[in-house]
């Protein structure tokens, strides 16, 4: 070997060692996971299903992983603020988000500071909660077919629906697309504001969450025409699903855990194992059942596929409704 060749080899050796050392460093971090508390950010106010799920799984996750699992409510802009914070966090598994269907729906309503798909690692679904199509007890229609017939007998847009944003706003649009009817949107800030007008018949129908509408249905002030899950809701087992009359229709709210993009595979595997074990505990399943929610889990690949399909479905409904994305905040 010539002097030049030996010198070139010596110079090259440190350069070759850099990526090897970097790979070793990443592997060491993954093997050491978790090395500090694993924070679950809930980008909504306390008390909703996402918040309750996070708090129910935090203790069993903490026991299994040997570190604290604090839950942080970071609400604002329909979940955008807390979700952005997670997207900007280090991809080491120590910061997670527990989000709802609002994650893909927000892409239709807002100009987001992150990419809904690219900026996250999807870990598992946690829950699914159907909506219920409901109306005042004296409303002319008592079934989806009767509602469609009533809408078609009257001028386009004669039937009104209450909406509170997000999937509750878009589910009636999807229903109208699938059945060929037009309805007029009446906006409300929340279910509690919409219910008095719905009960009084000042607005015709509403697609609401089962937990929110159930007390009024049980009291007889509202009637349920259909639920929107793939199967009948346990609390309303005598009420048909909308898919029984409108083939393929499903519109549920749901929960999902995700982290920043590019979580290392060993970290992702550990998180998936601990989260799915926690959410499937019998006490956690039972508590969700009282909320009208079904516990569901999924592998990371299927979770990503599911979110992509939801993004496309609700994006199409929003475009049909003429929704113009606004700045978040």
In the chain, where the domains are located: 36-128+252-327, 130-244
pLDDT average, residue stretch 13-29 = 48
Tens digit of each residue's pLDDT (9 = 90 or more) over 271-283? 999 999 999 999 9
pLDDT of 232 higher than 50? yes
| pTM attached to this predicted model | 0.85
pLDDT of 59 higher than 50? yes
Which pLDDT band, with edges at 50, 70 and 90, does 31 fall under? low
pLDDT average, residue stretch 115-125 = 98
pLDDT average, residue stretch 137-154 = 97
Percent of the chain with pLDDT over 70: 90
pLDDT average, residue stretch 116-144 = 97
Least confident of 264-273, 279-288, 316-325: 316-325
pLDDT average, residue stretch 214-238 = 94
Parallel, antiparallel, or unpaired: how do β-strands 95-100 and 294-295 relate?
unpaired
Domains 36-128+252-327 and 130-244 are alike in CATH topology: yes
| Architecture of the domain made up of 36-128+252-327 | 3-Layer(aba) Sandwich (3.40)
| Domain 130-244 classification at class level | alpha beta
pLDDT at residue 27, rounded to an integer: 52
The better pLDDT of the pair 28, 81 is held by 81
């Amino acid at each position: 070997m010539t002097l030049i060749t030996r010198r070139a080899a010596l110079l090259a050796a440190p350069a070759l060692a850099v990526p090897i050392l970097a790979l070793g460093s990443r592997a060491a971090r993954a093997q050491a996971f978790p090395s500090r508390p694993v924070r679950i950010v809930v980008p909504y106010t306390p008390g909703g299903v996402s918040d309750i799920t996070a708090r129910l799984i935090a203790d069993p996750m903490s026991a299994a992983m040997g570190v604290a699992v604090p839950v942080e409510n970071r609400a604002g802009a329909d979940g955008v603020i807390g979700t952005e914070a997670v997207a900007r966090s280090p991809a080491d598994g120590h910061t997670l988000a527990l989000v709802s269907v609002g994650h893909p729906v927000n892409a239709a309503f807002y100009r987001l500071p992150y990419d809904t798909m690219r900026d996250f690692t999807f870990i598992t679904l946690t829950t699914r909660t159907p909506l219920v199509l409901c109306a005042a007890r004296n409303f002319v229609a008592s079934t989806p077919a009767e509602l469609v017939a009533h809408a078609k007998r009257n001028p386009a847009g004669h039937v009104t629906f209450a909406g509170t944003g997000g999937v509750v706003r878009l589910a009636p649009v999807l229903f109208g697309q699938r059945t060929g009817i037009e309805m007029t949107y009446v906006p409300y800030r929340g279910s509690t504001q919409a219910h008095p007008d719905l009960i009084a018949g000042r607005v015709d129908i509403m697609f609401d969450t089962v937990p929110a509408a159930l007390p009024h249905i049980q009291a007889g002030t509202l009637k349920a025409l259909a639920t929107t899950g793939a199967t009948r809701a346990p609390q309303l087992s005598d009420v048909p699903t909308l898919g029984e009359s409108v083939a393929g229709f499903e519109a549920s709210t749901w929960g999902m855990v995700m982290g920043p993009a590019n979580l290392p595979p060993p970290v992702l595997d550990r998180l998936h194992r601990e989260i799915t074990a926690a959410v499937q505990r019998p006490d956690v399943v039972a508590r969700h059942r009282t909320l009208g929610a079904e516990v569901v889990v999924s592998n990371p690949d299927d979770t990503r596929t599911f979110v992509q399909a939801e993004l496309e479905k609700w994006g199409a409904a929003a475009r049909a409704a003429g929704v113009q994305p606004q700045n978040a905040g």
